[in-house]
């Protein structure tokens, strides 16, 4: 049910299914994406390496400028100053002893198919591509390193100065896990793998830049998850002052993590070319380029050793894993750190050891993709839980319950360091209640009847479960600027960006509630550094937590100022005032009132009257001739800017259950039922939350059953198109998802919000693997899984005669 | 993802189109463009000239008669699929076309274009081959008819000559006593199949199997048709015979491996789909015979 907010203006909006204000424009095709900005700009095309690993001996660009309509060609030799230095290593870490980043254009060496070598700027993309085809490069071929086993074997190195291909090794310990395992009543060892996938937004990367020669200012529109980050990077790399650079995020057709990576080579080369040529320049990535030159994620191999008691309680857990970081490490160790910490989920092992190596391969770089290391960690932990349950002959939910952190144990300190450099401390949650709700939703206890019925029909079905905890809303901070215009309209600007999450709706709900104005009088702008120059970005399920909190705090400041001015004007005490529908009035005496817009006029005593509202206001603007018009500790204008900076992340959680059917003949895998319970604290807009979860589950199903990056041993990506990279269609995802909510508000922020952006896909692979294992009766240790692979497993287990007994 | 430069011609008559093709050995014909345009955009094909035949209304037809269905070069998949007479005369057409990609692709893609593109993963080349149909091709000099059995030379390679335009595909009518079926397994709805099988089964008046022929797509490098009648010599369609049919087929097929399916898995799909489709075609044949008798 949706609420018509215009009909019920005084309804509390937070918690209400307010229709997204973005959608009318977007579904009518009136979105304005990077490719729609500054039509007629010159266009850039990129020469990308066709080889996974090679030394560049010579680049011959002669003949390129002969193509009519070509304006410029750039190679590494044309880069100067900071542009000639490697791209930034965004998130350094002490353990990242061998961090490496690429150059904006390859210098001497290429390390993956798709690495940028040269760019051409021409009248249009057709001509630019024609000209790129004229560039010839002499290569000396080097042996590519592809896949984790090859990287570990290290017979060949990706970077000559990185021995063993090891970029980083990080170990964390809580207690003595190895000793605990050695003395535990029961022990198991598992090897668990996850393959590569990628964010794959509908809109790829895109950047447009205009250099204003007269004003000496650069304007950049880019499809990013961080406009402030791009701004700082562009200014630093091009040697401009920050105030000379504006970065504006137009509509963004999805990000899912890949667009938090910045600056992309093209994000620097386009502004560089625009400035050099004095003309607007655009780069719009095509799909093949997105596959081979943006970023991937997920590939990890894990070895687990676990010791447990008769009830399946974890006495010692030791996890060693190998993370494929691709050719470079611009985003640091965020993904494997998240795996290593979030793997613990809702459980409390008595001791824990985790060690990972981050390894170079001659493949596309790895940066966070929705879930960001959590799907792998949850897969590892949940497969371990299932293995323990199978070993002990216990129900899988009982083993989980026996390991849960209890509701009275919050805040719960794991004794580890999280991805934000802060302690891993869970703030709130109720895992037993979540599990109870989930079991009810999916009728867990009634499933044996379902199985028996299916078996009688010759069908195979299985049920699986996956539980997760997700650290959301990491710092360092976000801010908001709120300005009340003299018309009473409220303009909100946040520093982070929107990629379709509905920020304009959700933040307007918060601002309207806090200020007491009508929803339709609030307009939210995100990701425009002209409006809000301080911000971090949209990632880690943080926008609602961070910017939502900042909007609330800022709105409270504006409200306080409005009440102070109104109190003076009305001759009342501020404590006796309320704001309803944009009108400040004395509680119990609504005749004594003043419009918020009028207060905005009063707040700026130097302004003339231009309209009816200000004319009406002049009668109040007598002021005290003995005081300055603007008090010493005050400023003109009804506006405020405030920031929210939490001590640490807030932890959302959830549990998914799935019922699958596997075809006995064709090994096709069909999802019959998908149910989940999630807890993201206070819900701002249930419709948006539901949409986030639905989309997440769809993406999770893609990761579980369809999507993988198929590299051959030469480092060629064999499926770099939507024909062969199997992103699920609407026909492949569950028709309905049964959902139940739990709201345990976070004590860490003013509204009790926890993030939900990634929730839908985090445990999907774990739950689907659990269900397939349940249907088939043999372990599922690697995801994604295709019918062809399931068929191969059936043959292997049939020939081995493997049963559940063998797993003990 | 932008094509390299090409000359573009949109003739008003077939003669004009043929003349243009004859004049440029590096010209390609553009009809529905569902395969050619992506190839151009990825610069996997770079013809000097495109001869766009979308203006040749004379080729936009579907004609069903008692002997079969004639499909002109500009008939879109969707038009052939929706043609009730064509479905009555040769029901395999509509069954197969429902499995061709998605509606948006069927709205633009042409059946004849798919046949000459010679993709062994496509449905319509197999249908033409299984039904022993033929293709009429014209050049500036002459017109000839290529039987389906002589149409496919290798992967993505037909026996059309440079300068020729395929003008019409002919799908023979369903014979009395015959039934048809088509099934395939794809990773996603509308994708190229991992394996697809079409069957024509004929029965006698006593409902006994007379002949069984199956066409296979996505299994080998070219569309492949096999006669599996020998394992149904008893005339019955039992589980044992159906299983034997799959094995017999595999004796003549060499399933290929790719990133979506191992060769073993494809072989399994050949077994499963052969059994399913032969049974369904047999049921269809019996059903049609019963209706004819009534």
Average pLDDT over residues A401-413: 96
Buried-state track A182-197, b at ≥16 Cβ within 10 A, e below 16: eebebebebebbbbbb
pLDDT digits (tens, 9 = 90+) for A338-354: 999 999 999 999 999 99
Is the separation of the CB atoms in A165 and A360 below 8 Å?
yes
Going by C-beta distance under 8 Å and a sequence separation of 6 or more, which residues neighbour residue B33?
A: B108, B109
3-state helix, strand, coil in chain B (%, to 5): 40, 25, 35
B276, closest residue in chain A (CA to CA): A665
State the pLDDT confidence band at B195, using cuts at 50, 70 and 90.
very high
Contact across the interface for B189 and A133, Cβ inside 8 Å: no
| Sign of torsion over alpha carbons B75, B78, B82, B86 | positive
Is the separation of the CB atoms in A291 and A324 below 8 Å?
no
Which residues in chain A have Cβ-Cβ distances shorter than 8 Å to B187? Answer: 706, 726, 786-787
pLDDT digits (tens, 9 = 90+) for A543-573: 999 999 999 999 999 999 999 999 998 999 9
Which residues in chain B have Cβ-Cβ distances shorter than 8 Å to A129? Answer: 2, 4, 43
Q: What percent of chain A has pLDDT over 70?
A: 95
Q: What percent of chain B has pLDDT over 90?
A: 98
pLDDT of A495 above 80? yes
B210 vs A631: CA distance, rounded Å: 103
A665, closest residue in chain B (CA to CA): B272
Contact across the interface for B5 and A129, Cβ inside 8 Å: no
Q: Note the helical H segments in A294-373.
A: 334-342
Tokens of A492: 């909100």
Best residue of B243, B259, B276 to probe chain A, by most A CBs closer than 10 Å:
B259
> How crowded is residue A107: how many other Cβ atoms within 10 Å of its Cβ?
17
Average pLDDT over residues A705-731: 96
State the pLDDT confidence band at A626, using cuts at 50, 70 and 90.
confident
Topology at the third CATH level for domain B178-293: Enolase-like; domain 1 (3.30.390)
Comparing A419 with A586, the larger pLDDT belongs to A586
pLDDT digits (tens, 9 = 90+) for B220-253: 999 999 999 999 999 999 999 999 999 999 999 9
Mapped onto helix, strand or coil, the DSSP state of residue A530 is coil
Residue A795 in contact with partner chain B when CB distance is under 8 A: yes
> How crowded is residue A198: how many other Cβ atoms within 10 Å of its Cβ?
24
Is the separation of the CB atoms in A504 and A491 below 8 Å?
no
Residues from B contacting A (CB-CB < 8 Å) are 1-5, 42-43, 185, 187-192, 194, 259-262, 264-265, 268-269, 272
Contact across the interface for B5 and A125, Cβ inside 8 Å: no
Region for A257 from its dihedrals, namely left if φ exceeds 0, alpha if ψ lies in -120 to 50, beta otherwise: left
Of B190, B259, B272, the CB nearest to A666: B272
Contact across the interface for A666 and B2, Cβ inside 8 Å: no
Is the separation of the CB atoms in A271 and A238 below 8 Å?
yes
A289 vs A265: CA distance, rounded Å: 13
Q: How far is A171 from chain B (nearest CA, A)?
A: 36
Average pLDDT over residues A6-18: 71
Say what the pLDDT of residue A475 is. 86
Of B1, B185, B262, the CB nearest to A668: B185
pLDDT of A688 above 90? yes
| Sign of torsion over alpha carbons B159, B161, B162, B168 | negative
Say what the pLDDT of residue A807 is. 42
Rounded alpha-carbon distances, angstroms, from residue B136 to A600, B143, B237: 79, 7, 37
Of B188, B262, B272, the CB nearest to A729: B188
Contact across the interface for B188 and A665, Cβ inside 8 Å: no
Domains of chain A, each with CATH number or no CATH: 34-38+200-293 (3.30.365.10), 300-474+647-807 (3.30.365.10), 476-644 (3.30.365.10)
Report the first-to-last Cα separation within chain B, whole angstroms. 59
Best residue of A44, A788, A795 to probe chain B, by most B CBs closer than 10 Å:
A788
Task: Please name the CATH architecture into which domain B58-172 falls.
Answer: 2-Layer Sandwich (3.30)
A566 vs B38: CA distance, rounded Å: 65
Residue A787 in contact with partner chain B when CB distance is under 8 A: yes
B272, closest residue in chain A (CA to CA): A665
Residue A436 in contact with partner chain B when CB distance is under 8 A: no
Contact across the interface for B43 and A795, Cβ inside 8 Å: no
Say what the pLDDT of residue A601 is. 87
Residue A667 in contact with partner chain B when CB distance is under 8 A: yes
Do domains B7-55 and B178-293 share one topology? The answer is no
Contact across the interface for A133 and B188, Cβ inside 8 Å: no
State the pLDDT confidence band at B260, using cuts at 50, 70 and 90.
very high
Average pLDDT over residues A219-243: 97
H/E element holding B70? strand B68-72
pLDDT digits (tens, 9 = 90+) for A244-284: 999 999 999 999 999 999 999 999 999 999 999 999 999 99
B213 vs A166: CA distance, rounded Å: 58
B4, closest residue in chain A (CA to CA): A130
Say what the pLDDT of residue A419 is. 84
CA A436 from centre of chain: 29
Say what the pLDDT of residue A591 is. 86
Of A668, A732, A788, the CB nearest to B260: A788
Say what the pLDDT of residue B137 is. 98
pLDDT of A506 above 80? yes
B74 vs B11: CA distance, rounded Å: 14
Say what the pLDDT of residue A421 is. 87
DSSP state of A172: E
Contact across the interface for A719 and B259, Cβ inside 8 Å: yes
- Give the CATH number of domain B7-55; options: 3.40.50.150, 3.30.43.10, 3.40.50.1110, 3.40.50.2000: 3.30.43.10
pLDDT of A612 above 80? no
Contact across the interface for A729 and B2, Cβ inside 8 Å: no
Is the separation of the CB atoms in A484 and A512 below 8 Å?
no
Contact across the interface for B265 and A792, Cβ inside 8 Å: yes
Q: What is the mean pLDDT of chain B?
A: 96
A327 vs A495: CA distance, rounded Å: 31
This model of the complex carries an ipTM of: 0.96
Say what the pLDDT of residue A804 is. 46
Is the separation of the CB atoms in A39 and A526 below 8 Å?
no
Say what the pLDDT of residue A545 is. 94
pLDDT digits (tens, 9 = 90+) for B136-186: 999 999 999 999 999 999 999 999 999 999 999 999 999 999 999 999 999
Say what the pLDDT of residue A6 is. 41
Cis peptide before A476 (omega within 30 of 0): yes
Contact across the interface for A792 and B268, Cβ inside 8 Å: no
Average pLDDT over residues A277-292: 97
Torsion of the alpha carbons at A176, A181, A185 and A191, rounded to the nearest 10: 150
pTM above 0.90, yes or no: yes
A785, closest residue in chain B (CA to CA): B260
Say what the pLDDT of residue B224 is. 95
A733, closest residue in chain B (CA to CA): B188
Say what the pLDDT of residue A118 is. 98
State the pLDDT confidence band at A9, using cuts at 50, 70 and 90.
very low
Say what the pLDDT of residue A606 is. 60
Q: How far is A284 from chain B (nearest CA, A)?
A: 10
Which residues in chain A have Cβ-Cβ distances shorter than 8 Å to B262? Answer: 788, 791-792
Torsion of the alpha carbons at A176, A177, A181 and A185, rounded to the nearest 10: 80
Is the separation of the CB atoms in A297 and A196 below 8 Å?
yes
Tokens of A388: 């323990």
Which residues in chain A have Cβ-Cβ distances shorter than 8 Å to B43? Answer: 129, 133
State the pLDDT confidence band at A604, using cuts at 50, 70 and 90.
confident
pLDDT of A617 above 90? no
Say what the pLDDT of residue A802 is. 53
DSSP state of A703: I
Residue A794 in contact with partner chain B when CB distance is under 8 A: no
A285, closest residue in chain B (CA to CA): B1
Is the separation of the CB atoms in A291 and A198 below 8 Å?
yes
Which residues in chain B have Cβ-Cβ distances shorter than 8 Å to A732? Answer: 188-189
Average pLDDT over residues A302-312: 98
Say what the pLDDT of residue B293 is. 72
Say what the pLDDT of residue A615 is. 63
A317 vs A189: CA distance, rounded Å: 10
- Domain residue extents for chain B: 7-55, 58-172, 178-293
Average pLDDT over residues A125-136: 96
Which residues in chain B have Cβ-Cβ distances shorter than 8 Å to A723? Answer: 191-192
Say what the pLDDT of residue A629 is. 75
Contact across the interface for B2 and A129, Cβ inside 8 Å: yes
Q: How far is B32 from chain A (nearest CA, A)?
A: 18
Cis peptide before A655 (omega within 30 of 0): no
Residue A728 in contact with partner chain B when CB distance is under 8 A: yes
State the pLDDT confidence band at A420, using cuts at 50, 70 and 90.
confident
H/E element holding B19? helix B14-23
> How crowded is residue B294: how many other Cβ atoms within 10 Å of its Cβ?
5
pLDDT of A7 above 80? no
């Amino acid at each position: 049910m949706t609420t018509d907010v215009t009909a019920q203006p005084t309804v509390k909006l937070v918690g209400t299914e307010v229709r997204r204000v973005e959608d009318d424009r977007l579904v009518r095709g009136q979105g304005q994406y990077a490719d729609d900005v500054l039509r007629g700009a010159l266009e850039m095309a990129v020469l990308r390496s066709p080889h996974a690993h090679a030394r560049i001996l010579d680049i011959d660009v002669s003949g390129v400028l002969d193509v009519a309509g070509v304006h410029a060609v750039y190679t590494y030799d044309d880069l100067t100053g900071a542009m000639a230095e490697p791209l930034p290593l965004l998130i350094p870490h002490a353990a990242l002893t061998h961090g490496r980043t690429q150059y904006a254009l390859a210098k001497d060496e290429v390390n993956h198919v798709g690495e940028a070598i040269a760019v051409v700027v021409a009248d249009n993309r057709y001509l630019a591509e024609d000209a790129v085809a004229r560039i010839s490069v002499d290569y000396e071929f080097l042996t590519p390193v592809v896949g984790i086993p090859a990287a570990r074997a290290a017979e060949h190195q990706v970077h000559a100065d990185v021995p063993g291909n090891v970029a980083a090794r990080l170990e964390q310990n809580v207690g003595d896990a190895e000793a605990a395992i050695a003395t535990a009543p029961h022990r198991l060892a598992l090897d668990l793998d996850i393959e590569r996938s990628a964010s794959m937004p509908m809109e790829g990367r895109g950047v447009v830049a205009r250099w204003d020669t007269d004003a000496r200012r650069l304007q950049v529109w880019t499809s990013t998850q961080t406009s402030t980050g791009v701004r700082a990077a562009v200014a630093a790399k091009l040697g401009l002052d920050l105030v000379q650079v504006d970065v504006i995020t137009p509509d963004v057709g999805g990000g899912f993590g890949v667009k938090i990576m910045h600056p992309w080579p093209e994000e620097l080369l386009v502004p560089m070319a625009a400035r050099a040529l004095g003309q607007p320049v655009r780069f719009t990535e095509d799909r093949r380029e997105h596959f081979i030159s943006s970023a991937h994620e997920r590939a990890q191999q894990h070895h687990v050793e676990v010791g447990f008691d008769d009830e399946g309680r974890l006495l010692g857990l030791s996890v060693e894993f190998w993370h494929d970081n691709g050719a470079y490490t611009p985003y640091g160790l965020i993904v494997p750190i998240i795996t290593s910490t979030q793997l613990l989920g809702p459980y409390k092992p008595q001791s824990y050891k985790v060690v990972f190596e981050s390894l170079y391969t001659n493949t596309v770089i790895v940066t966070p993709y929705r879930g960001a290391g959590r799907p792998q960690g949850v897969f590892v932990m949940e497969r371990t839980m299932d293995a323990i349950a199978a070993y002990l002959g216990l129900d899988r939910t009982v083993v989980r319950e026996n390991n849960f952190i209890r509701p009275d144990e919050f805040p719960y300190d794991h004794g580890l360091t999280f991805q934000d450099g802060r302690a891993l401390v869970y703030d709130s949650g109720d895992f037993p209640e979540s599990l109870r709700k989930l079991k009810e939703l999916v009728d867990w206890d009634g499933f044996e009847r379902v199985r028996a019925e299916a078996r009688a029909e010759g069908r195979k079905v299985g049920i699986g479960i996956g539980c997760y905890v997700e650290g959301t809303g990491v710092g360092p901070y976000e801010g908001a600027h709120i300005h009340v215009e003299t018309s009473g309209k409220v303009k909100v600007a946040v520093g982070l960006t929107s990629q379709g999450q509905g920020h304009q709706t959700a933040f307007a709900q918060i601002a309207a509630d806090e200020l007491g104005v009508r929803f339709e009088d609030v307009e939210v702008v995100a990701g425009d550094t002209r409006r809000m120059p301080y911000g971090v970005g949209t990632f880690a399920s943080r926008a609602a937590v961070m910017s939502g909190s900042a909007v609330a705090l800022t709105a409270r400041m504006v409200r306080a100022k409005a009440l102070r001015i109104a109190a003076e004007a009305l001759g009342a005490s501020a404590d006796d005032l309320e704001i309803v529908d944009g009108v400040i009035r004395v509680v119990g005496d609504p005749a004594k009132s003043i419009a918020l817009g009028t207060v905005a006029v009063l707040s700026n005593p130097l302004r003339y009257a231009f309209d009816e509202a200000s004319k009406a206001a002049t009668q109040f603007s007598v002021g005290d001739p003995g005081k300055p018009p603007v008090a010493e500790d005050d400023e003109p204008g009804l506006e405020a800017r405030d920031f929210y900076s939490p001590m640490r992340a807030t932890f959302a959680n959830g549990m998914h259950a799935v019922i699958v059917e596997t075809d006995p003949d064709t090994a096709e895998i069909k999802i019959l039922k998908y149910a989940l319970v999630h807890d993201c604290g206070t819900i701002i807009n249930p419709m948006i939350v539901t949409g986030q979860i639905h989309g997440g589950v769809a993406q999770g199903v893609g990761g579980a059953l369809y999507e993988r990056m198929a590299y051959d041993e030469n480092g060629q990506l064999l499926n770099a198109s939507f024909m062969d990279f199997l992103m699920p269609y609407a026909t492949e995802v569950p028709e309905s998802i049964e959902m139940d909510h739990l709201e345990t508000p976070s004590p860490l922020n003013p509204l009790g919000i926890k993030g939900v952006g990634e929730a839908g896909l985090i445990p999907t692979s774990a739950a689907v693997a659990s269900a397939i294992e349940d249907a088939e009766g043999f372990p599922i240790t690697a995801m994604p899984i295709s019918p062809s692979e399931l068929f191969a497993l059936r043959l292997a287990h049939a020939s081995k005669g493997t049963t559940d007994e063998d797993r003990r | 993802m932008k094509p390299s430069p090409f000359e573009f011609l949109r003739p008003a008559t077939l003669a004009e189109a043929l003349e243009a093709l004859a004049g440029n050995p590096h010209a390609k014909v553009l009809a529905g463009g569902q395969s050619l345009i992506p190839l151009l955009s990825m610069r996997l094909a770079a013809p000097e000239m495109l001869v766009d035949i979308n203006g040749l209304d004379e080729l936009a037809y579907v004609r069903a008669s008692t002997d079969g269905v004639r499909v002109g070069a500009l008939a879109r998949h969707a038009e052939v699929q929706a043609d009730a007479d064509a479905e009555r005369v040769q029901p395999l057409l509509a069954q197969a076309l429902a499995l061709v990609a998605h509606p948006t692709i069927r709205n633009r893609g042409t059946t004849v274009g798919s046949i000459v593109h010679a993709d062994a993963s496509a449905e319509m080349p197999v249908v033409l081959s299984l039904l022993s149909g033929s293709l009429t091709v014209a050049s500036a000099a002459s017109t000839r008819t290529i039987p389906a059995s002589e149409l496919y030379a290798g992967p993505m390679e037909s026996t059309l000559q440079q300068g020729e335009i395929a003008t019409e595909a002919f799908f023979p009518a369903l014979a009395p006593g015959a039934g048809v079926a088509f099934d395939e397994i794809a990773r996603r709805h509308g994708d190229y199949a991992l394996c697809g099988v079409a069957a024509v089964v004929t029965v006698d008046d006593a409902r006994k199997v007379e002949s069984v022929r199956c066409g296979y797509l996505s299994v080998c490098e070219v569309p492949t048709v096999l006669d599996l009648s020998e394992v149904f010599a008893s005339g019955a369609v039992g589980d044992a015979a159906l299983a034997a049919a799959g094995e017999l087929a595999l004796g003549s097929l060499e399933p290929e491996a790719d990133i979506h399916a191992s060769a073993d898995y494809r072989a399994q799909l050949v077994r499963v789909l052969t059994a399913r489709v032969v049974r369904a075609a047999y049921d269809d044949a019996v059903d049609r015979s019963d209706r004819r008798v009534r």
